Amino acid sequence: MSYQLQLASVPTPAADLDVFGFMNQLRQDAGTQPPSALLKRFHDALLAQFPDQPWSDGHYAGEAGRLTLVRRSKEVVPHVLYLAAELGLTVVDNKTGEVHRPPTYQVVLEGPAHGLEVIDAAARLAALLRKPVAETVALLSGGRRIVVKQGVSRFQAMQYAAALRDRGGCRATLAAEPGPAPRAKPLPSPSPSPAPAPAAAAPALALARGDASPAPSPYQAPAAALDTEGEAPEDDAGLFQVAEGLRMNVSSIGLSVLQGALIWDHGSLPGTISSAALSIMSIYGTWRMMNGLGTSKLARNAVLLLSLVTGLLGGVFSLSQKPLAFVLFAVLGLASLVVWVVLVVKAVRRLKQAGLSLGLFGAAKHDVRRLGGLDVEARLPSTFLALVCFSVTLLCFAGSLTQTKSRPQAAAAPVPCQFVGWWEYQKDGGTYSVFMDDDGTYAGFKPTTPEGEAADFVGSWSVADNAIQWDELYPLPGRSQAGKLTASGDSSFSVLEADGRSTLYELSHREPSRRCGFSAAP
């Protein structure tokens, strides 16, 4: 008879009855995504212990996992529960209905390492935590025990404590928090077909056990073969910057596509503002990627200068349309694209080497939060910037809708003075009036509009090729109408409308106009 276990690498609901529905939804949402880094570590560790794979289904996708045991379940289940607890995974036993939650730990800072002065340890700790030295000196002084990390799995706590010891020059211990009790390590079970543990599994297994002096066992490779350099540690500032920079670049590309669909005139003020915001996010993301990849300061400055000059030349070409500006823009743009592709490829390779699963936006949010030492619900800087740029794009789109291009057209188009003034015409059984100003704008009033009230419709007008053009701004922005002038004089003119009707406009009176020489009404 098969024995099925479900696993989750994200926090689950507090009530056990809610966990089952949560797990089903989690598995549906995962689809065909690659497994999270924690599930991958779990799989590698379990495979090292049971290379004969006494299960028929070991499906892992996204944050959800499923393991269907077909034999030796009494032997395998304790190891599954132990490894899951060490790595911070929740296990749901479909047979018994039990929910096995992982214990959580605190990392306690106990002071500088033996033989190291407080000031030396404080300097190393400040570089690790990215805090002022004065603050880390206060942490290490006085012989106090300070909790610097809490609510994490044993796997995460061991990595954090190791970082404090190896890179921060400090002594740190782990303390279990109230809640599920830590599980005792099950006795090793000989496999029917022994095989060495996969090399990729060894670092995860060693960290999962937290052994100070690793010894050969089914849970980890011999000490001589142990290599933890390729493992992605928690609170890794370099990997965090690489992952965040990649997310910013991908977000800027997606938002640029959205901007292109919403804002047609990129040379307008709204288009320029939106483009500038997206360019800043992309350049900042590239800068962070290069920082995380360990690129030299000279190379970072060169790429930054290349991006800025390319953007400047693009603006110059859009305004001047000069061939030289276009050629320079094309050459530098191609160079920028090549550099960007190379950096993205390096970033993706670096994240994959760290054991992170990648999706459309690079590393998953929960993995990036772990790299940055953030809370599970914390908002990533890349997400915040993407939301800001998305809001700017929407605001600029709204601004582009309210902009009118009629004024530049009216200034360039002919505005004959004989048409400037107040005119009346008959329409739908009523007398309408329209004031045609000498700057090419008009304001129209319905028969029912009381005197002194605002105009019912406004826009711009022009006359060319014996036709009059009306471009409405309010209440229907963008609506244009044109009619052929069939007769025109000083006191009236007739327009043949597009629907075939003829409308007669009769002069009511003139308004003063310096351009047209009108000093007073009639």
Instruction: List Cα–Cα distances, 447 to 194, 420, 432, in angstroms.
Output: 97, 21, 5
DSSP for 148-184 reads EEEEE-HHHHHHHHHHHHHTT-EEEEEEEPSSSPPPP
> Mean pLDDT over residues 203-223, rounded?
38
CA distance 429 to 431: 7
pTM of the model: 0.40
Tell me the pLDDT tens digit for each residue of 115-131.
888 888 899 999 888 88
Q: What is the widest separation between alpha-carbon atoms in the chain? A: 111
Tell me the pLDDT tens digit for each residue of 283-309.
888 888 888 888 888 888 888 887 777
Tell me the pLDDT tens digit for each residue of 377-408.
678 888 888 888 888 888 877 777 765 444 44
CB 217 within 8 A of CB 188: yes
Answer yes or no: is pLDDT of 191 > 70: no
> For position 369, what pLDDT does the model report?
77
Residue with tokens 């292109």: 260
Tell me the pLDDT tens digit for each residue of 473-518.
888 888 888 999 988 888 999 999 888 889 999 999 898 888 888 8
> Mean pLDDT over residues 210-224, rounded?
36
Answer yes or no: is pLDDT of 91 > 70: yes
Distance of CA 260 to the CA centre of its chain: 18
Of residues 276, 252, 235, the one with CA closest to residue 382: 252
CB 207 within 8 A of CB 158: yes
> Mean pLDDT over residues 207-213, rounded?
39
The tokens describing 326, both together, are 């276009």
The tokens describing 52, both together, are 């004969």
Local confidence band at 431 (pLDDT 50, 70, 90 cut-offs): very high
Helices (H) and strands (E) in the chain, counts: 14, 18
Of residues 118, 138, 136, 117, the one with CA closest to residue 126: 136
Cβ atoms within 10 A of the Cβ of 313, count?
A: 20
> For position 407, what pLDDT does the model report?
41
> For position 265, what pLDDT does the model report?
57
Handedness of CA 421, 422, 425, 427 (dihedral sign): positive
Counting every residue written for the chain, the total comes to 522
Q: Which H, E and C letters describe 98-118, residue by residue?
A: CEECCCCEEEEEEEECCCCCH
Of residues 84, 89, 105, 69, the one with CA closest to residue 19: 89
CB 482 within 8 A of CB 468: yes
Which 3 state secondary structure label does DSSP give 414?
A: coil
Answer yes or no: is pLDDT of 469 > 80: yes
Of residues 260, 302, 256, the one with CA closest to residue 279: 256
> For position 441, what pLDDT does the model report?
92
Share of the chain above pLDDT 70, in %: 81
H-helix or E-strand containing 67? strand 64-69
Which 3 state secondary structure label does DSSP give 122?
A: helix
Please tell me which residue, 210 or 118, carries the higher pLDDT value: 118
Cβ atoms within 10 A of the Cβ of 386, count?
A: 21
Answer yes or no: is pLDDT of 228 > 50: no
Tell me the pLDDT tens digit for each residue of 229-246.
333 444 567 788 888 888
Backbone torsion region of residue 500, taken as left when φ is above 0, otherwise alpha when ψ lies between -120 and 50, otherwise beta = left
> Mean pLDDT over residues 366-374, rounded?
74
Residue with tokens 């000031």: 119
Answer yes or no: is pLDDT of 25 > 60: yes
Which 3 state secondary structure label does DSSP give 457?
A: strand
DSSP for 196-236 reads PPPTTHHHHHHHHHT-SS---BTTB--GGG---TTS--TT-
Tell me the pLDDT tens digit for each residue of 74-83.
889 999 999 9
Share of the chain above pLDDT 90, in %: 19
CB 353 within 8 A of CB 363: no
* Phi, psi for 297 (deg, rounded to 5): -65, -35
Handedness of CA 25, 29, 32, 35 (dihedral sign): negative
> For position 314, what pLDDT does the model report?
60
Strand 55-61 and strand 99-100: pairing?
A: unpaired
Tell me the pLDDT tens digit for each residue of 26-52.
988 888 889 998 899 999 999 988 888
Please tell me which residue, 101 or 253, carries the higher pLDDT value: 101
DSSP for 243-276 reads HHHHHHHHHHHHHHHHHHHH-S-TTSHHHHHHHH
Burial of 505 from C-beta contacts in 10 A (0-12 / 13-18 / 19+): buried
Residue 186 DSSP symbol: P
> Mean pLDDT over residues 138-143, rounded?
84
> For position 69, what pLDDT does the model report?
86
The tokens describing 247, both together, are 């997310």
H-helix or E-strand containing 521? none
Local confidence band at 104 (pLDDT 50, 70, 90 cut-offs): very high
CB 88 within 8 A of CB 156: yes
Q: What is the mean pLDDT of the chain?
A: 79
